[in-house]
Structure 1
């Protein structure tokens, strides 16, 4: 091992150790550091050739443990100290007769690897209290909690031009789960447009029509956490067996499987088993399948087996119907001009609209006042969403340029100097986060860049931004300025 590789690896370890508290929600940092040292003390770099770094690990357990717990941190460290396009390989030294040890080289993402995958940490808001699937013996049908919300039924789902197609398909699936051509059903669309509601509605209808069928709804974060727990306990088989019992599987926000290679492998086999056995699969995502970064091609291809349905932001008429439906449940009746005003206020998504409606209900209840258009305007003016500016790509570019003190011409240029390239990557990242633009559209707006360049930029910022203190500060500052 040459001295240059020694230095690079030491820098990577230093970066990871220095950012441990950023990578993990851990109150005992000293304990975390000790665990980190014990693990990586037995990991050695073997070679670095043509951006291919090979690490020597004692066993498959070390490889899997790194992937499940430190891969995001390691990926950020490698990108920072080696650069773009780095590939990570493992040489696993299993116990063999003395003198006959052989290194088995494994690519953690297969032959098509472009850069190390990112293991995202679980958001603090996600509950860690999960149903333990391993207490259920064998493949016997049992009663399990479907995790369905009774309020999210078809009866409470207001249809309009933005969601009519998806809702029609959903009702068809609910009548014959697993027996239609719509398997899987892949629902995608922006934040708060009703994807989750529609998934629950299918589950509730199936439970009502087919009481013996096992229906399960969960978020992808819970699926990931359950898999990690199973892997650590060496109960992957029990984990798979549990999900093979499900007749209708509904997974929310499937895009969070991005970068989680081991979890993707497990999901792939569960998906195949359910599909081959006529079980219904329903998935939701905030983006189209082809736009999900760092996910196995074989999984993306299976997303396309059934039907992909986009749910768009509700139009004016649909928003008006939602308002009437929601307020009527509380016995509140508004005049036409008041309804028109409310429908015009929330133009982004259903959740924003529900927030406005709740404010109207609260005002009516607390102040016991007869609602008028003037009072509505006064109430709504205090809600942040009514003051929310339009966030588009040019606006994001202006904010980024002002923050870094550069000109728009520089941002859109082809220069690769870090003082320009980093702001450009941040502008691409925020454009994807805050607009519905595709990677191709963002690339066009960024001076004619290729869509793969935009995908790489978003991946890099999302990855390194979780670990690098400098990038983390940029993300925090720019987020505040963009949303201000």
Structure 2
């Protein structure tokens, strides 16, 4: 093909790329691009924002250049240029309700962002476990609603989801004080909606959440089962999205794994980018401890950071909690920070000699405690004597491993993820009602974590 037909060449390349990767990957990384020119062996591509160079380049550039060489018959290198029109729309939202309703709205209280100014990108430690989410968050903060709308972030407790959400909001406000930003937990969103309905003041509620530039909803999984709140949020989402306003959502699990969440909401969450944060690896854990020590002007020996990082592997919250515990111990006993002091102060946390936990080990422990066989656990038998231990195994697998609901179900007799969700809900409910059972479950978890 002639170099002057660079747009046709790029479309041919895209059609072949589409055959080699998933639909989600293609829609995320390649659909928003377009060719600018082809000079010699360099094909210039326009991309929405710098996020594409930070992540997409590393994952797919080799494939794209390989196919480009096949199409053109010569080696091709891709170059990038960020689109100059990546800013989000600025027009305020109008006509939320009928004219009749608009005539008598109660006055709105001053809108608060609810942002925590301590949570910034500078204080967020980036590692392999969160680099995709971090890059996406930076792109959203740079150009809200331009590429990743909505941005759905999921992961376990204490991994930094709320931090990154506040960081986006603070960065946006730093560059534009005129932007209206609201951060709210799903629980508070629900409570405000209930109060507004009770007071006959739905207008104010809708005006508050539908006339802003960025909406942050934390822990969206708590909307599960709340049909009325889901209905209200659905229409709020549509209003903001149609007006090119940015929506950021967090959850402890992927959209499809949230039980009783409406399909239409799941679908809308998947319109944008769904990205997860994993527990930090040891290098990132050390970096987090170092950052925390620097913020508190504390000289923390590397051997202590390594000891804590090797023994606290669950989440950032527990990692920082262990450091606070150590510092308090040193202060109260008037002793220097040493490795021996760290071992003394942190007695009871996981040790370096722990056995890697997998689902087989969980099943073996369950079988031993409840006197059932592994074959029984994996079977289709539904008697209480077998189903109950099986549900505990599913619950512990979710709590103590990184396996997804689908993987847990597959490992425990080829069951689907809805069965696993049901088991987790049953065991969770039982722990709330029976203190003795909760103690047994905690003891079992501690044994498995050793």
Q: How many residues align?
A: 343
In 2: Cα distance, 1:209 partner to 1:242 partner:
22
Q: Which residue, 405, 408, 415 being the options, matches 1:442?
A: 408
Q: Residue in 1 aligned with 2:386?
A: 420
Q: Is 1:154 aligned to residue 121 of structure 2?
A: yes
Once the two structures are TM-superposed, the CA of residue 460 in structure 1 deviates from its matched residue by: 5.0
Change (3 A) 1:466 1:369: closer
Match of 1:164 in 2: 131
Name structure 2 gaps, 5 residues minimum: 1-103
**What is residue 318 of structure 2 aligned with on the other side?**
352
Secondary structure of the residue that 2:217 maps to in structure 1? strand
Whole-Å Cα distance in 2 between the matches of residues 384 and 158 of structure 1?
A: 23
Q: Is the 8 A contact 2:106 2:201 kept in 1?
A: no
Q: What is the CA distance between 1:197 and its match in structure 2?
A: 0.4
Following TM superposition, by how much is the alpha carbon of 1:434 offset from its aligned partner in structure 2, in angstroms? 3.7
| Residue equivalent to 1:181 | 147
Distance in structure 1 (CA, Å) of the matches to 2:437 and 2:334: 46
Distance 1:152 1:422 in 2: 42
Contact 1:207-1:213 within 8 A present in 2 as well: yes
Going from structure 1 to structure 2, the CA distance change for 1:483 and 1:370 (only over 3 Å counts) comes to closer
Match of residue 88 from structure 1:
none
Query: Are residues 233 and 143 of structure 1, via their aligned partners in 2, closer, same or farther at CA, if it must alter by over 3 Å?
Result: closer
Give the alignment partner of residue 319 of structure 1, picking from 285, 299, 319. Answer: 285
- Partner deviation per Cα, 1:333-374 (whole Å, 9 max, x = no partner): 233333322322222211111012212322343334332222
CA shift, 1:474, in A, is: 4.4
In the other structure, the counterpart of 1:307 is: 273
Q: Residues of 1 paired with 2:350 and 2:211: CA distance?
A: 43
2:209 alignment partner in structure 1: 243
1:443-479 CA-to-partner distances (Å, cap 9, x unmatched) read: 12212223343234335555x6489x67x86456434
Q: Does the CA contact (< 8 Å) of 2:149 and 2:248 recur in 1?
A: yes
RMSD of aligned Cα (Å): 2.8
SS at match of 1:217: strand
Match of 1:126 in 2: none
Contact map agreement 2:330 2:341 (CA 8 A) in 1: no
Any idea what the Cα deviations from partners look like across 1:96-129, whole Å, max 9, x if unmatched? Answer: xxxxxxxxxxxxxxxxxxxxxxxxxxxxxxxxxx
Contact (CA 8 Å) 1:399, 1:478: kept in 2 or not? Answer: no
- Match in the other structure for 1:33: none
Distance in 1 (alpha carbons) for counterparts of 2:404 and 2:197:
35
* Structure 1 residue 391: Cα displacement: 5.5
Q: Does 1:145 align with 2:112?
A: yes
Residue 217 of structure 2 contacts residue 250 of structure 2 at CA under 8 Å; is this kept in 1? Answer: yes
- Per-residue CA shift, 1:112-155, capped at 9, x if unaligned? xxxxxxxxxxxxxxxxxxxxxxxxx8598874222211211111
Contact 1:391–1:482 (CA under 8 A) maintained in structure 2: no
1:56-75 per-residue CA deviation (whole Å, 9 max, x = no partner) reads xxxxxxxxxxxxxxxxxxxx
Q: For 1:354 and 1:446, how far apart are their aligned partners in 2?
A: 35
SS at match of 1:169: helix
1:159-308 → structure 2 map (5 Å cutoff): 159-178=126-145, 180-308=146-274
What residue ranges of structure 1 are gaps of 5+ in the alignment?
Answer: 1-136
Return the offset for 1:275: 0.9
> Is the CA contact (8 Å cut-off) linking 1:190 and 1:436 kept in structure 2?
no
Work out the CA distance in 2 between the residues paired with 1:214 and 1:359: 39
Deviation string 1:185-234 (CA, Å, 9 cap, x unpaired) is: 11111221111100011111112211122211121111122222333444
Distance in 1 (CA, whole Å) between partners of 2:384 and 2:391 is 10
Which structure is richer in relative contact order (CA contacts within 8 A, separation 6 or more)?
Answer: 1
Contact 2:125 2:288 in 1 (8 A): yes
**SS of the residue 1:188 aligns to:** strand
Distance 2:365 2:229 in 1: 37
Aligned-pair CA distance for 1:398: 4.0
Whether the 8 Å contact between 1:443 and 1:453 is mirrored in structure 2 is: yes
1:23-102 equivalences in 2 (<5 Å): none
Q: Residues 404 and 323 of structure 1: is their aligned pair in 2 closer, same or farther, counting only changes over 3 Å?
A: same
Name the SS for the 1:310 alignment partner.
strand
Q: TM-score, normalised by structure 2?
A: 0.69
Q: Secondary structure at the match of 1:282?
A: strand
SS for the counterpart of 2:392 is: helix
Aligned mates of 1:354, 1:449 — CA distance in 2: 37
Q: 1:231 to 1:433 in 2, by over 3 A?
A: farther
Contact kept? 1:170, 1:198, Cα under 8 Å: yes
Give yes or no for the alignment of 1:482 onto 2:449.
no
The CA distance in 2 between the partners of 1:145 and 1:389, in whole Å, is: 48
Deviation at 1:299, TM superposition (A): 0.2
